[in-house]
Structure 1
């Protein structure tokens, strides 16, 4: 009995230590997020791009069973076992693929007004990447190599779509990025609390800890707190114009119904490769990907809603698109056309 009591005491202590660690890290993350929002659009976009790289590392780590982040130092080596996983394709090949697609995707943001020059450079880099892949096809294992390449490409393209949507929301107005993030946080928190105390019916086998009661409780709480949260964002970020109640409630419903899919997909991915965590970057949280899986899906859905249904665009947003997509000479030409058009009226 004494041994059982000691075991129970040890488990209870570990549980509280883990809860304390998670709570402390959560407070730090919330504080860091608030600081980033206050720093402005450019820092926020840079952080989003950085996060995409971290998420790709974690997904690749699970897929290729990379033991340590320091394996990145040897990513272009074909001599170590860690870079021979999956048909002898080096990990560096996949990182090269990620950086190439990222540069093409973010070139409008990183190099405003010089998109065409960057595009031409990227075109030649694509040819070099294709030649590299043809070179790596030597030695057989064609099916495995092509399968791994297809998996990684799909991961990159999906990740790019989500991060591009997040950047679009920031350019629309930072509150259109912050508000969906807060909705997901509310949904996650109440789903966890309701599921822990009242949950009995499993939601899906892919994620055994998620329950139907938690899903419904999180959804109801998110919808009820949607308008107060929108008001809090408006006051906290000093916006003069209120968010339309219809938009606030619509995004809350999307956060309740669609955003949890991100967590289910992440759980299914880890189960497919027998992984417990994405990484140890955030102790007690299972990695960055486990924290922002629902956020990525929510940013994508929010962007689709705002662009296709609500059509939220401001004058600043149009100016931002002009700065990103047009060169200096094209901007001058646009000004001339606007002056001519205005003078004719």
Structure 2
């Protein structure tokens, strides 16, 4: 006589599949599970959880901003590692990993090799400026920078050879799938988010403003959708509405204009960081942060106590950031939503209550960081060579003896020109 396990009619035991914590629950497929926020019966409970987590994140973020550039970079690195961990685990199969000891370590080898390459490119000049006064460190750093690409290349080749040597019969498909998945993470996630570090050192303004606009857009879209959302926006995100999208766009553009004026008043936010120290910054912020006065039309000036309005030139650039953050950057979130649906998961993780994982919060930020960097390099940063740029190249690419030789030759040329004019 066979025992009926699981309540079925046959004697064959039924195996229960264990549901992962971030897997889409069954109720999402039901009518109320995909309801708009305005019709969601549990919306106030989820709103409180989301608000509580948001306040903690904003508070922690403000404290790190106060601490300075290096602490912000450290925060970015930690977030990148947590994002990589979430995504590595997404396609991980425990049984296969158990049969491939050390294989998971290979993913992190590629990750930190990419980190060394990207950050080395961004921060090499700042590192030189930090150790200029110490001859030993200056020479050592000079060698590292000179052979930076070679070091990174051979680290990557070492990982490539390591991968080939670990190939195991009957597991080729899984191993090559993991290899491709790792490189996709590096290209799509890590490379994009690394532009954030470059923005930080160009001036904290160019990091903080774009990042803040994404947060404002996300909160405004949630609130407008929460109270007024009636018209679905896109099938990939069932709870996104046109009302939330349009309301958030208007709020983000206005916020961009006002925030740029507020942030532009602080040297701590506008001065670029040219080294890797943590001291207070002082500089001439430049014409971008010096207000220009515009005459108000007569009918407006009659209603207001002032006749002119001060506007910083950087505020016009901020409007472009607001447009991008409200119209284009949300598609990073839509992409992530489609990706999660393809793998049938609700969130990339559960590390942030009410928000999901780190990757769920960084999808739009990555798109925005790349835009901010490209926009700054193309339309804001001076394209012509300056004295500081030439000096930076001399300090990085010439040895101390070559610098002395250049100094002597420049002295001779200037001496000849001076006497020629006399």
User: Residues 284-303 of structure 1 correspond to what in structure 2 (within 5 A)?
Assistant: 284-303=354-373
Is the Cα contact below 8 Å between 1:22 and 1:285 reproduced in 2?
yes
Partner of 1:211: 241
* Deviation (angstroms), 1:156: 0.8
Correspondence for 2:95 among 56, 81, 95 = 81
**Partner SS, residue 244 of structure 1:** helix
Query: Which of 250, 253, 262 is equivalent to 2:323?
Result: 253
* Structure number with higher helix proportion: 1
Aligned residues: 319
Q: Which structure 2 residue ranges, 5 or more long, are not aligned?
A: 1-39, 129-140, 271-284, 290-311
Q: Say if 1:334 and 1:248 are closer, same or farther in 2 by CA, change over 3 A.
A: farther
Mapping of 1:116-265 within 5 angstroms?
116-235=146-265, 239=270, 241=289, 242-265=312-335
Please give the TM-score of this superposition, normalised by the length of structure 2.
0.66
Per-residue CA distance 1:128-181 (angstroms, 9 max, x = gap):
211111122231443443333223202212223223321121121110100111
1:315 shift after superposition? 10
Q: CA RMSD in A?
A: 3.6
TM-score (norm 1): 0.79
- Unaligned runs of at least 5 residues, structure 1: 1-11, 66-79
- The alignment status of 1:33 with 2:66, answered yes or no, reads no
Write out aligned runs for 1:258-273 (5 A).
Answer: 258-273=328-343
Contact 1:172 1:314 in 2 (8 A): no
The yes-or-no answer on 1:23 pairing with 2:57 is no
Q: Answer yes or no: is the 8 Å Cα contact 2:195–2:370 preserved in 1.
A: yes
Distance 1:319 1:284, change over 3 A: farther
Greater Rg by CA: 2
Counterpart of 2:74 in structure 1 is: 46
Q: Does the 8 Å CA contact 1:171/1:320 hold for their aligned counterparts?
A: no
Structure 2 equivalent of residue 329 of structure 1: 399
Query: What CA distance in whole angstroms lies between the structure 2 residues aligned with 1:13 and 1:324?
Result: 65
For the 8 Å contact 2:394–2:403, the answer to whether it is kept is no
Distance 2:196 2:206 in 1: 9
Moved more, 330-339 or 235-244: 330-339
Which of the numbers 70, 93, 101 marks the counterpart of 2:106? 93
1:107 paired to 2:120: yes
136-145 vs 167-176, which moves further: 136-145
* Cα pair distance change 1:148/1:82, threshold 3 Å: closer
Question: For residues 22 and 312 of structure 1, do their structure 2 counterparts lie closer, same or farther at Cα, with a shift above 3 Å needed?
Answer: farther
Please tell me whether the aligned partners of residues 306 and 312 of structure 1 are also in contact (alpha carbons under 8 angstroms).
Answer: no
| Paired residue secondary structure (2:91) | helix
